[in-house]
Structure 1
């Protein structure tokens, strides 16, 4: 069995940030990435996706994003950036290496791979992010709907929905963006449990993320003050609020039922629908930790405090939603959490 100091599971933005932080602490990590490139979920996001923060607030530690710092980078720019970051990283990155099982082993861990190989490690960082497990909520009658249902994780381009009757479910940034672009080619409704809330993307000539950074609301512990509202607002430069006002898409309360290919709305009206798109978020994807006692709760969520596993000092998490702040699962924020985790894990290795 191969023996290494540290294994980082996941080679996307969080895993790369974790590897960078470990190297800075003098630890040599092995990064395991299941796909064929160290770019996480970014290559699979929908074609029109752009970042919500500008480039100046979208860098991992050690490498600026580059280009105009005030622009909002496209999905493909992010993929290219992560490719560059991985190429410059002094770490052993192994693509097409899926971790399928982690177990505690003599004060450290054994990591089993899909190809049958195993690695022994003193510490493990679970950095497979919070975008690998699309959340599909229990909705009234969804199991009886006979037409197309897909999660926004599988959505790419509005062209395939041309002329269709489409319902997008969700009230977040992705839901509104996707519904707005679909409405140009199809008759689209945005179905939400409550009215959509908007936040201005630019205030006094500055992007909102400038003010979040300047006021420290983007970092722990102050950003926890922003977690109390039931839903985060949609960042808007004016286009999306105007689109909903114009009915492109129209916004309706969530339907009360589905049957066959028809939807029943809250007002009792019924109509045929071709496709339903669930823009309902994600949940942590950590099946490989199932056999690490008390690493996960009964719903599969990690048991941690600020990224440190409660039951296992040698296990850390990076890239979880609201791990320590509102930006913990973003390019601009995961590096801070990675540095904190790396310092703690390096200290544990030094004491062992």
Structure 2
């Protein structure tokens, strides 16, 4: 059976919910397809201690402020609860357990195939499956022969199981440092990095860094599409992380040069036994339902197909594009552009 709609949104995490909100505000009734059991995106799968680096006042989607003290830094489970309530109040057709396997365009409409065999069609599709669903596992030297435990930060929950171990955390961004910091309280931990960890003060001049980012206009600058190789984001730090790393808890080293069984070789020639290698190496967009040639975009508008848009990709339009505070702005932009196309003649193969 084929189900027809005017707009299909793929994903019901923060990106899909923001897109659905923008569509509802424009008078549309989108169908939102979510692979998981509830509309909260990837948040429940993150590690237990995850804390936002933006205060609650800067961590909300359009139309619903984050509850509680606006100056506190919400934890993972608070974000999950917030998204649950947001979806409930959205008044949108959200269908959970609907994993999209392919999107094809023909004769001016898209056909969206779901894993259970169902098909939906619409002239407009928004890919909002997010930038944090597919763990990135880089090809590090000898990693495939390591006989200890290799896991991605997506599989990490809390430090207890690693007590007494020798652990290497690969990465230099917020997740690597935050996980390495808490693991170092129960294990011997090294951060293995290609570049030294960089830090940014959490509260310069007594105000959270996001206040300054917004006040100075950086947060809103639509320059993400100009950055083919986005800059390495520094670690937001209230001082504890840099103090811990400088004290060697965890220490920081260049990435290992080779792995032999459970032995790791470092660039200085030393070798040692390691129990666990934890990859805090980020994620890639979950866009497997689109052919690689169809994933290109300009500010979230597809360069391959009219009527196809993207929401929630890192540096899509700005520094904040993949965040709770920034995704709503991008969603409004993309929805406006896509709906405008519905009232204009379009031709197959039209780009941006």
**Residues 225, 316 of structure 2: 8 Å contact kept:** no
2 CA distance for matches of 1:72 and 1:223? 26
- What SS does structure 2 have at the residue aligned with 1:218? helix
Q: Deviations over 1:283-339 (max 9, x none)?
A: 11111112xx831xxxxxx20000000021200000001101111111011111100
Aligned to 2:255: 254
Q: Which moved more, 1:172-181 or 1:213-222?
A: 213-222
Q: Tell me the residue number matched to 1:349.
A: 342
Q: Could you tell me whether the CA contact under 8 Å between 2:227 and 2:315 is conserved in 1?
A: no
The match for 2:281 is 280
8 A Cα contact 2:164 2:188, kept in partner: yes
Native 8 Å contact 2:56 2:72 kept in 1: yes
Stretch of structure 1 that moved more, 234-243 or 137-146:
137-146
1:227 and 1:38 map into 2 onto residues whose CA distance is 31
State whether residues 227 and 326 of structure 1, in contact with CA within 8 Å, keep that contact through their aligned partners in structure 2: no
Once the two structures are superposed, the pairs formed by residues 221-232 of structure 1 within 5 Å of their partners are 221=222, 230-232=231-233
Q: Deviation digits for residues 12-52 of structure 1, max 9, x if unmatched?
A: 00000000001111111000000001000000000000001
Identify the residue that residue 56 of structure 1 maps to in structure 2.
57
Task: Kindly report the root-mean-square deviation, in angstroms, between the aligned alpha carbons of the 2 structures.
Answer: 1.5
Q: Which residue of 2 aligns with 1:96?
A: 97
CA 1:101–1:279 in structure 2 vs 1: closer, same or farther (change >3 Å)? Answer: same
Q: Distance in 2 between matches of 1:333 and 1:83?
A: 19
Deviation at 1:90, TM superposition (A): 1.9
CA contact (8 A) 1:57 1:332 kept: yes
Residues in 1 aligned to 2:231 and 2:193: alpha-carbon distance in whole angstroms: 13
TM-score by length of 1: 0.95
Segments ≥4 residues shifted beyond 3 Å: 222-230
List aligned pairs for 1:21-40, cutoff 5 A. 21-40=22-41
CA spacing shift, 1:24–1:229, aligned 2, 3 Å: closer
Post-superposition Cα deviations, 1:40-93, rounded to whole Å, max 9, x if no partner, equal 000000000000100000000010001100000000000000001000002100
Give the superposition deviation at 1:343. Answer: 0.7
CA contact (8 A) 2:223 2:317 kept: no
The alpha-carbon deviation at position 345 of structure 1 amounts to 1.7
Q: For residue 202 of structure 1, report the CA deviation from its aligned partner.
A: 0.2
Residues 227/201 of structure 1: CA separation in 2 closer, same or farther (3 Å cut): farther
Where does residue 194 of structure 1 map in the other structure?
195
What is the CA-CA distance between 1:147 and the residue it aligns to?
A: 1.0
SS of the aligned residue for 1:119 comes to strand
User: Tell me, what secondary structure is at the counterpart of 2:318?
Assistant: coil
Deviation (angstroms), 1:227:
8.6
Partner of 1:330: 323
Matched residue, 2:348:
none
In 2, Cα distance between equivalents of 1:108 and 1:225 = 30
Cα deviations across residues 83-104 of structure 1 (Å, max 9, x unaligned)? 0100000210001111111110
SS at match of 2:123: strand
> Are the equivalent residues in 2 in contact too, given 1:55–1:69 (CA < 8 A)?
yes
- CA shift in 2, pair 1:114/1:168, >3 Å: same
CA deviation after TM superposition for structure 1 residue 229, in Å: 7.1
- Once the two structures are superposed, residues 84-138 of structure 1 have per-residue CA deviations (whole angstroms, 9 ceiling, x without a partner) of 1000002100011111111103201001111111001110000000111111111
Gaps of 5+ in 2: 346-352
TM-score normalised by L of structure 2:
0.95
Which residue is 2:298 aligned to?
Answer: 305
Equivalent residue, structure 2, for 1:298: none
